A and B are shown apart, each in its own frame.
Chain A
Amino acid sequence: MTAKKRKITIAKAMAEAIAHEMRADPGVLVMGEDIAALGGVFGNTRGLLDEFGSERVRDTPISETAFIGAAVGMAAAGMKPVVELMFVDFFGVCMDAIYNLAAKQSYFSGGNVTCPMVLMTSVGGGYGDAGQHSQTLFATFGHLPGLKVVIPSNAYDAKGMMIAAIRDPNPVVFMFHKALQGMGWLGTVQSSVVDVPDEAFEIELGKAAVVRAGRDITIAGLGHTVHLAMDAARELAKAGVEAEVIDLRSVAPIDRATILASVSRTRAFLSVDDDYMSYGVGAELVATVAEAVALKARPQRISYPDIPVPFAPEMEHAVLPSADKIIAAVQSILGEK
């Protein structure tokens, strides 16, 4: 008899993961804006207040630098705070606590004081939320030493990675993409809603996943762009082009080994992400590949242009990565003489 299917959204997977860990470890608590009674604007803490009460599930004032700083202090004292920054775009008001404190606590203390906190934060646009509510900022966070930065592309990974993140003695920035979250009012990419086991399980942070095997070209994506790459791969297969799709899962540390193992076979590479182009994920992956592998064609990166996210959908959708752009890029890479 096959195992029972149970499909859930990334939102539910995150809430389940946090609940598992809160049951297992009294040192885990969760805090942020609207995460208690409301269950999170993005549904990722639903049910937690009812089960664990208000001492461990705390709505905070709009005081990011104070409560994220407080999380750093709790972590130093041996607790395991899970704290939410509602939109990654809000990091401007609290970045010191993240990149100067959380990220450097282990280093400055010679490993004697760790920072086992999870900072969960929503990323991504494509639904008209404009320049201050639509960014992904992978490179901004990935660039700063001392932070693990991860993003699941589906609910199974979300649950395993959240549990791993809470158990990790290091600060983990756990990004969740709004297009994949499972909120009806945002629209959700259906392929992010997948079977997820009831029980707790971990997915090792810092490991990418090969989500589609292929011989002709390696396409690396993360979060939403994994789904775009899969859509493109299905189309390309009709024309006999087999793309290998890698879900990066982790911006920091980057799983260079998995990427290089793939590109060493395919010898063609395309990176796809929805963060600003310059100094971005694509830049980092192309450099990694170019340093190590003799490619059969020049690599390409599809990213967001270096502009603030525009509001009007005619502009926003024109600049976002898409399956069509991926297909065109693959054809141009493989068509090179």
Chain B
Amino acid sequence: MSQENSQRLWMFKTMVVSREFELAIKAAYLEGKQPVFNMAKGPIPGEMHLSNGQEPCAVGVCAHLRPTDAVTSTHRPHHVAIAKGVDIGRMAAEIFGRQEGLSGGRGGHMHLFDAAVNFCCSGIIAQGMGPAVGAAMAARLAGRDDVAVSFIGEGAANQGAFHEALNLAAVWKAPVVFVIEDNAWGISVAKRASTAVSDNSARAASYGIPGVHIPGNDPDLIWEEAGKAIDRARKGGGPTLVEIETVRLEGHFMGDAEGYRPAEEMAGLAQRDAILIYRARLEKEGVAQDVLDDLEHQARQEVTAAIAFARAGKAPTAAQALEKVFA
């Protein structure tokens, strides 16, 4: 099998793992939250921001990354974490708030850190961009050709840190790629109502760096363009801004009634499901159905095991809350 084909099958399977993971987390999240949706109840309290629909962004980019490359992500991190190679059992355990979780239950779903694959995420918009510049510089200063990738939403392009990070990365020629997952909605506010330009990729010009706009939530197109940007960074060519048009299939957070989203848009969402579209494309190009079925089956098994591991985990103790504040 060609390298490219094996990459494509990896992308397909990883998207399925990601989607199955989100569906399992959603089901667990909603336990105890019916009939009244009270965020504090159930095995997973708090907010939950799912990535259903945005999987191509994660796999198209992370297909090119090594464990030693750094990735920072946002409040909507699961698909990126999975594509980066974060241990999904320990990630699930963290989301369930267990001792076996990545931070022993201290961080939860928006604050996932996996040092083994250099992945982290945080909940304040655009604030992961500076650290990505730093991780990139650390690699450069140590003489490695590792890169850093910062995943953000399109709303983050209006935050001060975005502009500072792009400028700094450009001035330092940092080996960093900034990836905008443009799902067109910042909670209830449409991108066109909040953003002075129609394509954030155009903003790259303000910082003298290349900007790429990728339409269609297409894993293969994303793979191609992200590959160029990451390669450019590895070879000392500096930063790139990559903007990907993607689709948010669920609400901003679980519990979001999405009354602000036009009915026609909601009705059309299922047809824009990138995993179904990609599977159809792979079949059309000659990949056997049972190969794809098998990958889906493996994906489901991995997710089932991860969730079971999480549910079987131990609840943290009160004393553990006071630990790890300082090293």
Contacts and interface: CB of A to CB of B under 8 A. Distances in A.
Interface of A: 33-34, 37-38, 41, 59-66, 89-90, 92-93, 126-133, 184-187, 305-308, 310-316, 318-319
Given A62-B156, A312-B98, A92 B124 contact: yes
Contact of A314 (B122, B124, B317): B317
B189 A187 contact: no
Contacts of A127: 38-40, 45-46
B161 interface: yes
B325 A306 contact: yes
B318 A62 contact: no
Given A33-B187, A128-B45, A186-B40, 7 more contacts: A129-B47, A130-B107, A130-B108, A185-B39, A187-B41, A310-B105, A315-B317
Contacts of B187: 33-34, 38, 41
B210 interface: no
Interface string B31-65: 00000111111001111000000000000000000
A314 B316 contact: yes
A314 B318 contact: yes
A63 B164 CA distance: 13
Contacts of A318: 318, 321
Given A41-B187, A184-B36, A308-B325, A62 B45 contact: no
A319 B321 contact: yes
B158 A61 contact: yes
12 contacts: A33-B189, A61-B186, A63-B160, A89-B124, A93-B127, A127-B38, A129-B39, A184-B36, A184-B38, A307-B321, A310-B106, A315-B317
Contacts of A89: 124
Contacts of A41: 187
B175 interface: no
A91 B268 CA distance: 38
A276 B186 CA distance: 31
A186 B40 CA distance: 7
B322 interface: yes
A133 B160 contact: no
Given A34-B187, A187-B39, A313 B321 contact: no
A312 B188 contact: no
B128 to A, nearest CB: 12
Nearest to B108: A311
B186 A33 contact: yes
Contacts of B255: 185
Given A60-B194, A61-B195, A128-B46, A311 B105 contact: yes
Interface of B: 36-41, 44-47, 97-98, 105-111, 122-127, 155-156, 158-161, 186-189, 193-195, 255, 259-260, 315-318, 320-322, 325
Nearest to A179: B40
Contacts of A38: 187-188, 259-260
A311 B111 contact: yes
A37 B315 CA distance: 40
A128 B108 contact: yes
A310 to B, nearest CB: 5
Given A132-B122, A186-B40, A59 B189 contact: yes
Contacts of B123: 130, 132-133
Nearest to B154: A62
B93 to A, nearest CB: 10
B180 to A, nearest CB: 13
From A34, A62, A89, A187, residue with most partner B Cβ within 10 Å: A62
Contacts of B188: 34, 37-38, 59
Contact of A93 (B106, B107, B159): B159
A89 B47 CA distance: 15
Nearest to A313: B45
A132 B105 contact: no
A101 to B, nearest CB: 15
Contacts of A315: 97, 105-106, 316-318, 320-321
B301 to A, nearest CB: 27
A61 B186 CA distance: 8
B37 A185 contact: yes
A262 B188 CA distance: 47
A186 B159 CA distance: 28
Nearest to B255: A185
Contact of A311 (B97, B194, B195, B317): B97
A258 to B, nearest CB: 33
Nearest to B158: A61
A127 B125 CA distance: 21
B155 A61 contact: yes
From B98, B123, B325, residue with most partner A Cβ within 10 Å: B123
B138 to A, nearest CB: 23
The 10 lowest CB-CB distance pairs between A and B, nearest first, are A128-B45, A311-B108, A128-B46, A312-B97, A318-B318, A312-B105, A127-B40, A61-B158, A315-B321, A61-B194
A126 B46 CA distance: 9
A131 B127 CA distance: 15
Contacts of A310: 105-106, 316, 321
A37 B260 contact: yes
Given A33-B189, A62-B158, A312-B105, A128 B320 contact: no
Contacts of B325: 306-308
